[in-house]
């Protein structure tokens, strides 16, 4: 299978991760789950545990909060699909560690050369009001710019609303 890139966007609890997991399963390739979340508190730890419990046992789990491009380059193969969940948590981690510009550019420079399929999951955060705080505005702006860049590169772009995937670009292969 040739490299296939998908971007799945949605709000919190929209069903985007479930949609992405089904897309990966439908490809019939080896399944790799690349988690970007870090458990900074008990509630986030519970969310992570719930995500893990919801997946079947046929996933290889990778955890990488910052160096996404490097990890994708290391694990991408023609016979696998990597699900990256989620880009907005990765963005938040990179902003916190002051490495966003370099990590974003590394991802954008490398993803079209990856030999395997990749499904990116991300939160659509730009449909609300303009945030009051500078850091929050930067986060929303950078997420929006990243989504635009990835949507231009990806073969398929889907937004999930209330568990219903809506195709924005591309379709099933």
Q: Active-site residue numbers?
A: 51
Q: Are the beta carbons of 150 and 7 closer than 8 angstroms?
A: yes
Q: Are the beta carbons of 117 and 29 closer than 8 angstroms?
A: yes
Q: Are the beta carbons of 122 and 87 closer than 8 angstroms?
A: yes
Nearest to 87 by CA among 127, 137, 122, 138: 122
């Amino acid at each position: 299978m040739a490299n296939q890139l998908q971007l799945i966007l949605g709000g919190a609890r929209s069903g985007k991760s479930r949609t992405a997991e089904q897309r990966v399963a439908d490809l019939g390739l080896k399944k790799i789950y690349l988690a970007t979340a870090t458990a900074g508190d008990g509630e986030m730890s519970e969310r992570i545990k719930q995500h893990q419990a919801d997946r079947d046992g046929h996933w290889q789990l990778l955890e990488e909060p910052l160096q996404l491009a490097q990890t994708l380059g290391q694990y991408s193969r023609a016979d696998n699909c990597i699900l990256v969940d989620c880009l907005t948590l990765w963005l938040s981690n990179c902003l916190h560690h002051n490495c966003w510009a370099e990590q974003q550019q590394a991802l954008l420079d490398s993803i079209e050369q990856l030999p395997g399929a990749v499904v990116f999951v991300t939160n659509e955060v730009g449909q609300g009001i303009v945030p009051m705080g500078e850091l929050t505005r930067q986060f929303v702006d950078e997420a929006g710019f990243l989504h635009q860049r990835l949507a231009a590169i990806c073969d398929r772009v889907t937004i999930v609303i209330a568990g219903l995937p809506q195709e924005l670009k591309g379709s099933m292969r």
